[in-house]
Structure 1
Amino acid sequence: MSKGKVLVVGSNATRIEVQGGGTGATGQYLNETVVPVMAILAAGYDVVLATPDGTRPHIDPVSDAAAHFDGDQAAYEKAKAFYAGDPSMTHVRTLRAVVEEGLGDYAGVFVPGGQGPVVDLMQDGDLGVILRHFHAAAKPTAMLCHGPMAAVAAMPHAREFRAALVAGAPEKAAEWAKDWPYAGYRMTVFSNTEEKVVEDRILHAKLYFNMVDALQAAGGAVETGTVDFDPNVVEDRELITGQNPRSDHPLAARFVAALERARA
């Protein structure tokens, strides 16, 4: 018998704005999606995947490699097969449908990373409704790598906040962040120095804002590790955040433990 349902919120973004005009390819990371989802299922929970438009998340090709599974080719192939064929990954709802059907039966919510959430999820109104529900109910809420940027959606003025960041006006963004439910929470996110590696080696362009700076402007107490790409997980009340792709397993373990505590 299932222990309950966990909502997994995916991104539909395929491009992200870069300075100087134009966009760079982006999406959702394979390992950051399947590693926690497989752990959630193994713990006895059902998974419901939802995205803004109800189609499957776009997997960033950069993440489609054994390197993101510590070089374990078998683990990589298993993850690819899981994402391609498991019903938890192929049956997708819209965020709006999830809201309309009611959120009360969900035990927790998880947002994977990749830069996709920085584009769509952080300013999605339906996700804002979802996150405010889980916050008010103090139900486990996990976000990984760039996933914590989705927490911005819980602001009453998330779109204006993001627009101010893109415009290079962090002070204005901070004004729009008023009444953010996660203000004062300890949290982590993909660090500025980690982001520079992506900008230099993958995007070959600079983003309009860094994730750490954005969450600090919102009022978050952001903590990043001292060594880039080392696992780092921060837990404060119902919110569990992981810093980078290699935080996938430890975040999954902390999230499942929080789900179990909430059942006790």
Structure 2
Amino acid sequence: MSKGTILVIGSNATELEAQGGGTIKIGQFLNETAVPLMTLVAAGYDFVLATPTGEKPHMDQDSDALIYFANDDEARSRARDFFNGHPSMNDVRTIRSVIDGGLDRFVGLFFPGGHAPVVDVMQDADAGEVLRYFHTKSKPTAAICHGPTGILASLDNAHEFRAALIDGDTAKARELARGWQYAGYRMTVFSRGEEEYAEDNVFHKKLIFNMPDALEAAGGNVVNTDQNFTSFVVVDRELVTAQNPMSDHELAAKFIEVLGKSA
């Protein structure tokens, strides 16, 4: 018997704007998607995957690498098989259709990582409606790496807030975010130092804004570990956030713990 159903909000984005023009190829990170979901399924939970368009998220090809699986090729293969073949990964709904079908049946909410949520999810009105429901009901919400930017969708002016970040207008962003439901929450996200490494060594381009700045402008109390690319998870009330790809297993364990207490 299932312990309950988790709503997973994924992204359809494949490109992210870069500073000075051009784009960066992105997607949903393999381990940040598959590892927490495989762990949840093994623990007795079901899940429903929803995206803004109803299409399956694109896997970030840079994430299909052994470094994110402790150099264990078998673990990477299991994750890849899950991402590509699990029935719930391929029965994708629109976020709107899930809302219309009723949110009461879900016991938790999960935002996978990869840069993709920075493009569409963080300014998606339907994702915002879901977040406001889960927050009102104090139902557990988890997010990893860049996934925590997705919770910014709960802002009333999420699209305008994102535009202010791109313009570097922090004052306007703070004003637009006044009264955010997660203001004052302790949370984590991909750090400034980790992003600089990705910009210099992977993308060879600069991002339009960094993730801690975005969450702090909205009122979040962002904390990061001093050691880049080591596991770090923060739990504050119903919100569970993880800093980077290496936090996948710890995020899953703490999310399951919070789900158990919420049941």
SS of residue in 2 equivalent to 1:231? coil
- In structure 2, stretches of 5+ residues that fail to align are none
Amino acid across the alignment from 2:5: K
1:220-250 Cα shifts (integer Å, max 9, x gaps): 0000000000100000000000000000000
Equivalent-residue separation in structure 1 for 2:178 and 2:98 (angstroms)? 26
Task: Map residues 148-163 of structure 1 onto 2, 5 A cutoff.
Answer: 148-163=148-163
Q: Give secondary structure in 2 for the equivalent of 1:16.
A: strand
Residue of structure 1 in register with 2:145 after alignment: 145
TM-score of the superposition, structure 1-length normalised? 0.98
Letter in 2 for 1:211: M
Deviations 1:53-75 (A, max 9, x none): 01111110000112210100000
Aligned-residue identity in percent: 56
2:249: which partner in 1? Answer: 249
Post-superposition Cα deviations, 1:164-194, rounded to whole Å, max 9, x if no partner, equal: 0011111111111022100000000000000
Deviation at residue 256 of structure 1 after TM alignment: 0.7
Report the Cα offset of residue 137 of structure 1: 0.4
The residue correspondences of 1:101-250 to structure 2 (distance < 5 A) are 101-250=101-250
* Superposition TM-score, scaled by structure 2 size: 0.99
Q: CA deviation at 1:22?
A: 1.2
Which runs of at least 4 in structure 1 moved beyond 4 Å after TM superposition?
none
How large is the Cα RMSD of the aligned pairs?
0.6
- Could you say which residue in structure 2 is the equivalent of 1:28? 28
Per-residue CA deviation, residues 109-161 of structure 1 (Å, 9 max, x unaligned), is 00011000100100000000000000000001000000000010000010010
Determine helix, strand or coil for the equivalent of 2:8: strand
- The amino acid across from 2:50 in the alignment is A
Deviation string for 1:197-218 (max 9, x for gaps)?
1111111111111100111111
2-side partners of 1:164 and 1:101: how far apart? Answer: 34
Q: Tell me the amino acid that sits aligned with residue 47 of structure 2.
A: V
- In structure 1, list runs of 5 or more residues that go unmatched: none
Q: 1:7: which partner in 2?
A: 7
Equivalent position of 2:100 in the other structure: 100
Looking at structure 2, the residues matched to 18 and 159 of structure 1 have their Cα atoms a distance apart, in angstroms, of 18
Q: Which secondary structure does the structure 2 equivalent of 1:252 belong to?
A: helix
User: Matched residues in 2 for 1:255 and 1:72: separation?
Assistant: 24
Counterpart residue number, 2:79: 79
Distance 1:66 1:163 in 2: 35
- The one-letter code sitting in structure 1 at the alignment partner of 2:75 is A
User: What is the Cα deviation at residue 41 of structure 1?
Assistant: 0.7
